[in-house]
Amino acid sequence: MPKEYIHRIMDLKDVLEDGSQFLFGPRQTGKSSYIRNELRQEAVLYWNLLDVSLVARIKANPSLLRNQLRMIGKKSGLVILDEIQKVPFLLDEIHSLIEETDFHFLLTGSSARRLREKGVNLLGGRAGVSYMHPLVYPEVKELNFGLEKVFERGLMPSMYLSSRYDILLRNYIKTYLQEEIMEEGITRNLPTFTDFLRIAAINNTEMVNFSNMANDIGVNRAVVTEWYQVLKDSMVITEVPGYGRTRKRKAITKSKYYFFDVGVARKAIGAAPPADGTTDFGKAFENYIEWELRAYLDYNELDESLCYWRSASNFEVDFVIGDSVAIETKTTRNPSASDFKGLRALKEEGIFSSYILVCRTPAAEMLNDGIMIMPFEYFLERLWKGEII
């Protein structure tokens, strides 16, 4: 295993014993490295579909996969196809092989959009779906971890481990624009899409007014809506809906949007790393905690919704998980009464069992009304031990 590889806490081996699986995740979150270092040696066949010569052979002979498996002489085993969205029609053959043989398939991709556009039904439910995220706290806590480093570099493995992270982030934005946008023909106006991506990053962690954004960049609202869907399908952003089941205070249910990586969001704006004490530092902190929560839910296969709550009277809690846990994030080291307003307003509803303020205070404590204050690293330790959700 190469020295620079960080062992991932995700474990697909048990999942793959039960059947085939899609593994989705944004570009460069480590899907191929994970396969190469932890699964490939167990595969009877591995195809990298970024290999243009291989793709040309598949297009010339759609039965190539079946023929190669026949030549191997085995009737079962793991078959890995990396970047399946490059050859979506291959899923028809995979569908047949799943029904006719005992092979299990691992199919990775960075965009479900391409598969849906080709009318592919994701194997009709015959394969599960997993997601790979950027590095999470248990994977990096011993690697000179710190908020400033995370906000500067982001948590994609290649960026986090490199002193050239700023160049790599810049190239990531450029490559995404060229490969995902221009090659797919989503728009011929790259400068306008670049403006859109920058404004979307500025609105990271916030509710978005699509009409106002459309006016700012000179397109109609439908175009902005479509481009947000492109970012969602490519897993560059995620949508966090508003929690609407409160009764005492009317809730706003409009969604907020979060970039998958704080480093990518920063570089899309073209901004320097946020300074401690600024609004941008607080937004980056909220963004980071959101993705730790989402990764935890995905990696542990928990069917719990991740929402936020805001009342019409402007009380707000950053995250609510199912109907059980309410979490507010603040970068303060010395919480004041104003930091608890949202949690206390939500607590009056009597819905959730836990109310937590995640911040940078030096020690954990519980207030008289049952609200818990947790230093963020203590919170993340407990989260990944299964003690929060």
Q: With pLDDT > 70 as the criterion, what percentage of the chain qualifies?
A: 94
Confidence check: pLDDT of 117 > 50: yes
Q: 184: exposed, middle or buried (C-beta count within 10 Å: 0-12, 13-18, 19+)?
A: middle
Token pair recorded at residue 203: 């609105």
> Is residue 284 within 8 Å of residue 149, measured between CB atoms?
no
Q: Which stretches of the chain are DSSP H helices? A: 13-18, 31-38, 52-60, 64-72, 90-100, 112-117, 137-140, 147-153, 157-160, 165-176, 190-202, 210-217, 221-233, 262-269, 279-299, 341-347, 376-384
Mean pLDDT of 223-233: 90
> Is residue 58 within 8 Å of residue 93, measured between CB atoms?
no
Cα angle value 15/20/21 (rounded, 5°): 70
Identify the pLDDT of residue 304. Answer: 96
pLDDT digits (tens, 9 = 90+) for 131-151: 999 999 999 999 989 999 999
Confidence check: pLDDT of 37 > 50: yes
Confidence check: pLDDT of 118 > 70: no
Identify the pLDDT of residue 88. Answer: 87
> Is residue 388 within 8 Å of residue 356, measured between CB atoms?
yes
CB atoms within 10 A of CB 122: 15
Between 3 and 345, name the one with better pLDDT. Answer: 345
Mean pLDDT of 47-52: 94
Tell me the CATH architecture of domain 13-132.
3-Layer(aba) Sandwich (3.40)
Between 13 and 177, name the one with better pLDDT. Answer: 13
State which amino acid sits at residue 251.
A
| Ramachandran assignment for 350, one of left (phi > 0), alpha (psi -120 to 50 degrees), beta (any other) | left
Confidence check: pLDDT of 112 > 80: no
Mean pLDDT of 155-180: 89
Indicate the pLDDT class of residue 184, thresholds 50, 70 and 90.
low
User: HEC states along 94-153?
Assistant: HHHHHHHCEEEEEEEECCHHHHHHCCCCHHHHCEEEEECCCCCHHHHCCCCCCHHHHHHH
Identify the pLDDT of residue 42. Answer: 92
Identify the pLDDT of residue 1. Answer: 43
Indicate the pLDDT class of residue 21, thresholds 50, 70 and 90.
very high
Mean pLDDT of 3-30: 88
Confidence check: pLDDT of 185 > 70: no
- For the ranges 150-154, 219-223, 330-334, which has the lowest average pLDDT? 219-223
Confidence check: pLDDT of 3 > 90: no
Confidence check: pLDDT of 327 > 60: yes
CB atoms within 10 A of CB 48: 16
pLDDT digits (tens, 9 = 90+) for 195-224: 999 999 999 999 999 999 999 999 999 999
Confidence check: pLDDT of 362 > 50: yes
Confidence check: pLDDT of 288 > 70: yes
Between 102 and 193, name the one with better pLDDT. Answer: 102
Mean pLDDT of 371-387: 98
Confidence check: pLDDT of 235 > 60: yes
Identify the pLDDT of residue 116. Answer: 67
Token pair recorded at residue 377: 């690293």
Task: Output the CA torsion sign for 337, 343, 345, 348.
Answer: negative
> What ranges do the domains of the chain cover?
13-132, 138-384
Task: Report d(CA 361, CA 375) in Å as an integer.
Answer: 5
Q: With pLDDT > 90 as the criterion, what percentage of the chain qualifies?
A: 79
Task: Report d(CA 207, CA 195) in Å as an integer.
Answer: 18
Token pair recorded at residue 325: 């846990």
Mean pLDDT of 361-380: 96
Mean pLDDT of 64-73: 94
Pick from 61, 99, 26: nearest CA to 264:
26
Q: How far is CA 72 from CA 45, 306, 323, in A?
A: 8, 44, 50
Task: Report d(CA 327, CA 296) in Å as an integer.
Answer: 15
Token pair recorded at residue 374: 């947790």
Confidence check: pLDDT of 356 > 60: yes
Token pair recorded at residue 100: 């006719």
Task: Report d(CA 66, CA 60) in Å as an integer.
Answer: 14
Task: Report d(CA 30, CA 10) in Å as an integer.
Answer: 11
Between 319 and 186, name the one with better pLDDT. Answer: 319
Mean pLDDT of 237-252: 96
Confidence check: pLDDT of 162 > 70: yes
Pick from 389, 315, 381, 302: nearest CA to 352:
389
